[in-house]
Amino acid sequence: MDKSWMQLKDRWCSTYVEGVRDFLRIANNYVGQGGKIRCPCKNCNNVYIRQPYEVKQHLFLHGILEDYSPWIHHGEPSQSRDQNEANELCEEDGRGDRDENPYNDVHEMLDELQTGTFANARAAEGSSSNPPNVPEREVDKFERSLRDAKCELYPGCENYSKLSFLLKMLHLKTTHNSSNKLFNGNLKLFKDALPNGETLPKSYYEAKKLMRELGLGYISIHACPNNCVLFWKENKDLQQCPNPDCGASRWKHAPSKRKKIPQKVLRYLPLKPRLQRLFMSSKTAKDMRWHKDKRFQEENRIRHPADAKAWQDFDKKHEWFAQDPCNVRLGLASDGFNPFGSMSNSYSMWPVILMPYNLPPWKCMKEPFFMMSLLIPGPDSPGNDIDVYLRPLIDELKELWETGVETYDAYSGETFQLHAAVLWTINDFPAYAMLSGWSTKGKLACPVCNKDTCSLTLKNGQKQCYMGHRRFLDHNHVWRRSKKFDDVMHIEKNIMEILQGTLLNIEGKTKDSVKARLDLELMGIRQELHLQRVGDRFLIPPACYTLALPERRKFCEWLSSVKLPDGYASNLSRCVNATTSKISGMKSHDYHVFLQRLLPIAAHGFLRKDVHTVLSELSYFFKQLCSKTVDKAVLKQLKKDIALILCKLEMIYPPSFFVVMVHLAIHLPHEVELGGPVQYRWMYPVERFLGTLKKFVRNPARPEGSIVEAYTDKECMTFCSMYLRGIETRFNQQERNYDGCQAELGGVFSVFTQKARPLGASTYDMLSTSDFKKVQWYVLNNSTQAEQVFYINDIKNGGTWQVVQKTCPRNLFDVSEKEEREDGDDDAEVLIFNDEPYQQFVPNDPNEVEQVDDRGLSPLNRTDIYSEHVDADVVLSRGSSSLLDDDFINDEVDEEDDTMIDYNTDDCSDGEDVEDSDNDSDDDSDDDTY
């Protein structure tokens, strides 16, 4: 039968109408109880059962599932089974011949697992002969699961089998993280309520054994307590560490115990079967080809890692790998966390997580597709010995790269040799040092600048600062010869923490301390900010980048009044204490929102123009950088902008401000050019995943065991939930603020049928005909400009003035797919700039950072408020009598860029221009817009 009509976008053409008529003609011969059938529209997804006329309306309003073929829920046989087997896969709603196997909620899943596990050998149902080259253990597991799938829940039950009922119970337990005791209580209640002859297990332990038949499991590997070696492979029979400097015993000293207890255990979750399962399932096999089959590549846009340079260069170097779209590209993430939360107990365990990048953007970097490969035990961080624990994973990755593993692809129905490669790692800056071996402290902390890192040890602050960003400017820039200069998630967090601490003058967090002022004096710069001795005290001139106490209180009051969309950030008012003018308890994502959304408004309300301008430019830089869609032309401009922005900051803030995390911002545009949008490489999804692992700890004495057991259970149920019907899973659950079903209005576009739940008392008003026509005209003529927005009180103008903030829904992706583009639509997109709502404060032109001449800035001290006093003894105790060394640039390294030498010399010579490696490429790309 011709099913090409299912791919049509015009749902009112004659071909589509005829196709719907043919579909209903077949489905009406396969109705269940009450004459209802399953609705295959894009909203119902074959989950909801409706009357045929309702299904017809849905197919015209919402469209049919394009990949729903064969129509196994509406009487059409499967391509890989005969008619009787197809009937068994239908829902248990009274349709078809139910005598042979009436419990088919999980038969589709079992069939795909059987086919994938046994490769091309498909055993007939009920056959006892083992397919060739298949371990007998695997055959036994499948046969036990199949028996449970056929077993009645109780005599005469037509809706559930033993396995389908238990899977749904276990899914609810895993989803809501309920206790084993509650599950046992529910089992006892159901056993009492069901008729005699019910087949439910007696306890969670027995139910879990049934579930483990469908799971992937893990391997426990003993480790030396001093992180020297794993008792694995060639060391598996040793009883003590082979390292002559260690010699620690493999076992705990517990002579009263019969069974030996290892001192340290690494949990290893093999990668190969988890990758194979992604291709075994028809629910995910097609998506694993998305990057090749459906991704539409635009020359000047980066929407997916496959559009970026690293992926493309990898394909050029390894053409054999790129030829098969099923070969998997992986990212590797690792970070330590305390499983006991904020408790005083110091504990650090390190999971190693892999995520496949073959998937489309709306599935990539999502928790259901994360694969935890290792759980490195605590209580101490492995440090540089993390390589010891990575060995099982590295060996498996080598095997996947060199020889691969035979895998069944449910989408093509064929087997292939699966290969995999790790493109990059995802981690915070301290973890980068552990994984790479590069020290992230000291003079050469920047791994990109390497030996060209421009750093200085402050004499009084006793810390390293990283300045000299004018060397990244264009060669002919006026500031390049001036002598007046002094993981995205964590960089944003650290930069915002520094800005916030300095702005509010928070003790311990501000970079404008007494020591910073003494360093300015030693360096001979910013004389207006030097400490001034008056008798036995010193005056601290107030700086233009800090707020006075009344301003800090006003700032905190404004921040506590900010209202953000639900789920956009945490409740910031809980982090603010207006009485003490302090902010605490903000999370990394709160700093992310503050930097990109709130900082420009706050800076404009309190700081003078040159200061709030550069902070607004810094905010917009990160806002563009964090876009889901990256424009290469804008990325090229961002590389120039960030260098100028950091130079402006150097003109304003003290040297102690420029820690290595501030310096790393200079390299972010180049990383986007290499790896694609930051959403595929930042730590937010990983940190959320670590939060999920924390919830798994039920036994504080064995946190690693609790986590890995709960993780494997959830991993199994996540896979099974893709097949479960009639129950809410993470794949079909409604959005957070879902207000109800769509109104059933025939002939009306679905976007105009949304229901909303009113808040507060309802009021009604009648519009006149003329007013209604005006409103209708306005809506229709501005519908293309509709965007999601929220409003923030304007702290500068006060009153009812508000600043409009445009935002994009988290699950909305501007991604084109190949089959959706018609012939002749390959031209470049035309950008339409919509009219902005009026607001008095408009940020600087986002496409260009404001250029400043070389005449310098106004004095950086404030004359409108009084100076602070500090005792002379305190200043003298913190000061340093030594003069500033002439080693602003490390004299251990031969520097070629004379812009660095200019910091310490009075003569500027025309030396050779040396650009940073991140600025060498002409093909730059990174645009981020919300």
Phi and psi of 89, rounded to 5°? -85, 0
Residue 85 clears pLDDT 60, i.e. is over it: no
Report if residue 661 sits inside a domain: no
Place of tokens 């039920």: 698
Q: Distance between CA 363 and CA 344 in Å, rounded? A: 37
For residues 294 and 818, the answer to whether their CB atoms sit within 8 Å is yes
In a domain, 381, yes or no: yes
Give the angle 844-845-848 at the CA atoms, nearest 5°.
110
pTM of the model as a whole? 0.75
Q: Of 649, 605, 657, which is closest to residue 857 (Cα–Cα)?
A: 649
pLDDT, tens only, 690-720 = 999 999 998 888 999 999 999 999 999 999 9
Domain hosting 272: range is 219-437
Residue 80 forms part of a structural domain? yes
The β-bridge partners of 41 are: 64
Locus of tokens 């529910």: 186
Q: Of 364, 341, 347, 332, which is closest to residue 432 (Cα–Cα)?
A: 332
Note the pLDDT tens digit of each residue in 613-642.
999 999 999 999 999 888 999 999 999 899
CA distance 197 to 188: 14
Report CA 278 to chain centroid distance, whole Å. 20
Q: Is the pLDDT of residue 399 over 60?
A: yes
Nearest alpha-carbon partner for 545 in 497, 486, 607: 607
- Nearest CA to 408 out of 277, 283, 291 is that of 277
Among residues 389, 413, 437, the one where a domain terminates is 437
Confidence of residue 798 (pLDDT cuts 50, 70, 90): confident
Give the CB-side neighbour count of residue 12, counting CA atoms within 13 A: 5
Task: Give domain status of residue 845, yes or no.
Answer: no
Where does 734-883 have alpha helices with state H?
Answer: 769-781, 872-878
Contact 792, 776 (CB under 8 A): no
Angle at the Cα of 161 from the Cα atoms of 160 and 166, rounded to 5 degrees: 90
- 445 pLDDT exceeds 60? yes
Give the pairing type, strands 219-223 and 230-231.
antiparallel
Q: Using CA atoms, how far apart are residues 676 and 297, in angstroms rounded to an integer?
A: 13
Q: Give the closest residue to 105 by CA, choosing from 720, 732, 724.
A: 724
- Alpha carbon distance 658, 671 (integer Å): 20
- Residue 45 has which token pair? 């997804």
Residue 758 has pLDDT above 70, yes or no: no
- Among 99-103, 135-139, 381-385, 491-495, the least confident range: 99-103
How confident is the model at residue 101, as a pLDDT? Answer: 40
- Does residue 895 surpass a pLDDT of 60? no
pLDDT of residue 923: 38
User: Among residues 759, 788, 498, 522, which one has the least CA distance to residue 652?
Assistant: 498
Which amino acid is present at 597? Answer: R
Q: Tell me, what's the pLDDT at 134?
A: 58
* 691 part of a folded domain: no
pLDDT confidence tier of residue 764, bands split at 50, 70 and 90: low
Task: Write out the DSSP string of 562-614.
Answer: ----TTTS--GGGGEETTTTEE----HHHHHHIIIIIHHHHHHHHS-HHHHHH
How many domains, the chain?
A: 2
Which position has the token pair 């009180």? 793
Q: What amino acid occupies position 689? A: F
User: Using one digit for the tens of pLDDT, what is the confidence trace for 498-518?
Assistant: 888 888 888 888 888 888 888
pLDDT at 276 over 50: yes
Buried b (16+ CB within 10 A) or exposed e, 484-519: ebbbbbbbbbbbbbbbbbbbbbbeebbbbbbbbbbb
Higher pLDDT, 465 or 632: 632
| pLDDT score for 472 | 62
DSSP 363-425: TTT-GGG-EEEEEE--SS--GGGHHHHHHHHHHHHHHHHHT-EEEEETTTTEEEEE-EEEEEE
Domain end point (choices 83, 100, 117): 100
Q: Is 602 exposed, middle or buried (0-12, 13-18, 19+ CB in 10 A)?
A: buried
Distance of CA 363 to the CA centre of its chain: 10
pLDDT at position 291: 92
pLDDT score of 832 = 35
What count of Cα atoms within 13 Å lies in the side-chain half-sphere of residue 144? Answer: 12
For residue 542, whether the previous peptide bond is cis, meaning omega lies within 30 degrees of 0, is no
Nearest to 523 by CA among 465, 590, 569, 571: 465
pLDDT of residue 315: 94
Residue 236 CA to residue 221 CA, distance in Å, equals 9
Last residue of a domain, one of 422, 437, 452: 437
Strand partners, 532: 539
Give the per-residue pLDDT at 90.
Answer: 38
In a domain, 475, yes or no: no
In the predicted model, what is the mean pLDDT of the chain?
78
Q: Is residue 360 part of a domain?
A: yes
Quick check: 360 and 816 in contact, CB under 8 A? no
**Residue 349, amino acid:** M
Q: Is 654 helix (H, G, I), strand (E, B) or coil?
A: coil
Cα–Cα distance measured from residue 817 to residue 619, given in angstroms and rounded to the nearest whole number: 32
- Is pLDDT above 90 for 374? yes
In a domain, 350, yes or no: yes
CA dist 5 and 816 (Å) reads 21
Q: Higher confidence at residue 925 or residue 799?
A: 799
The whole-number pLDDT of residue 270 equals 95
User: What is the pLDDT, as a whole number, of residue 704?
Assistant: 93
Confidence of residue 53 (pLDDT cuts 50, 70, 90): confident
Residue 740: per-residue pLDDT: 64
